[in-house]
A and B are shown apart, each in its own frame.
Chain A
Amino acid sequence: MDMISKEHKKEKLGFEETELRLGLPGGGGIVNGDLVINGKRGYTETVDLKLNLALKETGKEENSQKEKNLISCSNDSIKSPYKAQVVGWPPVRSFRKSIMAVQKRNSEGGGAAASFVKVSMDGAPYLRKVDLNMYKSYQDLYGALGKMFSSFTMGKCDSRGMMDFMNERKLMDVLNGSDFVPTYEDKDGDWMLVGDVPWEIFVGSCKRLRIMKGTEAIGLG
């Protein structure tokens, strides 16, 4: 199998620049119906869908074992970096898997696997999604959220006003006299105030974000 992958890689090198691609976010592409090992995040997003790998924080995926859980890549002619995965193999403990998944994500600058969470804002007509791996700190995240939801505050306050509020976490009068507080749902299903724990731990435990009206946020934090 090693032989095939080497040959295949050689082939691909020649074609890369000339081929048309469908662009997935992060630069991953689908070429001629094959998976391209290209932009890391794009590729592993696809792979994630198929293989449900333990790249995410917990090893909980492997806890349900009704049948021997043999999941294989759909396209055999491509040497994918993630082969058929069997339950409990290789024999690595769950806490080691999670640690390495998080570290891999951090060390590759968020390139390896995406960590999309939904973001809702009270009063906004639709939700957004952010990839927490794209940010290195709470400041980064606040900046992005401010820009994302600025359209809803246009005319009443500019995006910088929103951003300042979030950066300083002051309960300012921003919109119709109400305050906004960023909160998140953690792994245990509890709603927490954003900003209490170190950034890496937040990324690992945040399942969704909600920008709450301050009046509802009493009792948090």
Chain B
Amino acid sequence: MVYSFPEEVLEYVFAFLSSDKDRNAVSLVCKSWYEIERWCRRRVFIGNCYAVSPQIMIRRFPEVRAVKIKGKPHFADFNLVPERWGAYVYPWISAMARSYPWLEEIKLKRMVVTDESLELISKSFKNFKVLSLSSCEGFTTDGLSSIAANCRNLRELDLRESEVEDLSGHWLSHFPDNFTSLVSLNMSCLGSEVSFSALERLISRCPNLKTLWLNRAVPVEKLASLLRRAPQLVEFGTGACSTEIRTDIFSNLVEAFSGCKHLKSLSGFWDVVPAYLPAMYSVCSRITKLNLSYATVQSPDLVELISQCSNLKCLWVLDYIEDAGLKALSSYCKDLQELRVFPSDPYSAEPNVSLTEQGLVTVSAGCPKLQSVLYFCRQMSNAALIAIARNRPNLIRFRLCIIEPQAPDYLTLEPLDTGFGAIVEHCKELRRLSLSGLLTDRVFEYIGTHAKKLEMLSLAFAGDSDLGLHHVLSGCESLRKLEIRDCPFGDRALLANAAKLETMRSLWMSSCSVSYGACKLLGQKMPNLNVEVIDERGPPDSRPESISVEKLYVYRTVAGPRADKPDFVWTMDEDGALRFS
């Protein structure tokens, strides 16, 4: 019988449960299991910082060691969320500083982090080990100085893709001379040059350093010296590699790389002069991840490098690779799981490279393990999509961006409904999908019918009517995140599927046809949702109710309406009254 197990035994068993899903399930069995589990949960993941409050988290889980929090909606990456929208981390840090003195890990994504927050982190948690700020903003290099100076046991400092106000490179010099615990450092987003000698010394005294992503300011002629001090590196990101090629630089680099027997991942390569690439050939056969998305190198040079990477699992590259390069990829890299092709010139109407749908079709045919795709191109056809779907039913993530909005099948001039329909029909494990091109309501019918495991869907310039949105909301059983821009979806589908929104993390709709009146109604009907209208034209009730709102962000929450709204966000309250910020 369950109730005869002593607590210690249950706690011991629960310690083996790492997934949140399992721990949540365990918590629902009975009250005593709930109690035991909540005291021994060490890691908490909060997918939406406004879905729950720091106080609620702390009350339920008093002994947390690691926290991961996400803030702004994904479309913030493309400047669709206005500045000052929110996602401030300070209230979380300040609450945790009081209640989690043994906190070791803070990982944040798309949050606003101030120097004040960083200083508080550096002073509040004696055993602090991991700070990861992904796509965050609001802090300066002064905040980094606090972290460097005070976090004596720091293992990871990862600033990937954050916008940091770069006052100087001096922050790195704040790591004390007896600081040796660094395992991972990602400073690739920073602009300023750090003191090179401080960097060398830091690397020399941290024997466990496995990950080092430099910033652009570190020139290629200095890389050899760093690599020689850290031959144990597993992940390495270069700085700019634009110095005119010289034999001594090159041969030093060759020697240094050949000493790195554990290197699995390479990145950086800003402005890389192609002649430097062969310096890396000695490590290529062990490389599993290669990020060449900052390298403006032409296809033949890319192919030379890639053809040596027989164990490549993940490739990020610019469209300079072209169809020919992708063909080579598909023949040399049979273990490829993830491919991302970024546009070198996204704003040009004419193609500047010879990259078409054919490249993706070829890779889908040649790489049997391919499961994750992000692909920017200028033309697509239903035939190609159908081929991709048939070739790769094991796809999990498929994000296609045809650069011209509403571009039809370039062969038949039809919508791309059947093509994407084939994707969702064949790829039964698909979890993430981004659509583009000319699409009618029909594609949503296919999605609602087949995409039963789909968790995240991104739409732009697609569909004809509310029916499209209705198909998605009523059919996609696993849907957690839906983000929509510039689609003719309005009130009816939204209100008819209001209950669905409580089963999802969030819904974003901008430049659609949802009226203010419908937003108010939704807010009234659904007390467990925050229905936030974002409108920079002024208070929505200064306009007729039938007017569409600019942007709508709906998310489930147990924390009630948020108190930190800026003046262009309104929460639709249950009693129908406007809440001003």
Contact = CB atoms under 8 A, between A and B. Distances in A.
A65 B80 contact: yes
Contacts of A134: none
Contacts of A104: 296, 344-345
B460 to A, nearest CB: 7
Contact of A100 (B167, B240, B344, B401): B344
B159 to A, nearest CB: 12
Interface string B546-569: 000000000000000000000000
Interface size grouping (class) on chain B: 35 or more
Contacts of B294: 99, 103
A49 interface: no
Interface size grouping (class) on chain A: 35 or more
B82 A65 contact: yes
A91 B78 contact: yes
Interface stretch (A25-33, A81-89, A116-124, A213-221): A81-89
A112 to B, nearest CB: 9
B82 to A, nearest CB: 6
B193 interface: yes
A5 B350 CA distance: 10
Contacts of B83: 63
Interface in A72-88: 79-83, 85-88
Contacts of A200: 240, 242, 271
A88 B217 contact: no
A10 interface: no
A149 B359 CA distance: 53
A90 B458 CA distance: 13
B65 to A, nearest CB: 31
A96 B347 contact: no
A63 B343 contact: no
A174 interface: no
A13 interface: no
Contact of A197 (B78, B193, B405): B193
Contacts of B343: 90, 92
A92 B343 CA distance: 8
Contact of B349 (A80, A92, A197): A80
B347 A85 contact: yes
Contacts of B460: 89, 91
B489 interface: no
A205 B80 contact: no
Interface string A184-212: 00001000000011101100010000000
Nearest to A1: B349
A65 B511 contact: no
A103 B419 CA distance: 35
A87 B191 contact: no
Contacts of A96: 293, 342
A201 B217 contact: yes
A81 B349 contact: yes
B320 to A, nearest CB: 10
B219 A83 contact: no
9 contacts: A65-B80, A88-B78, A93-B77, A100-B296, A100-B344, A100-B345, A107-B296, A188-B166, A200-B240
Given A65-B536, A66-B536, A92-B342, 4 more contacts: A82-B349, A93-B161, A96-B293, A103-B270
Interface of A: 5, 53-55, 59, 62-63, 65-66, 68, 79-83, 85-97, 99-100, 103-104, 106-107, 188, 196-198, 200-201, 205
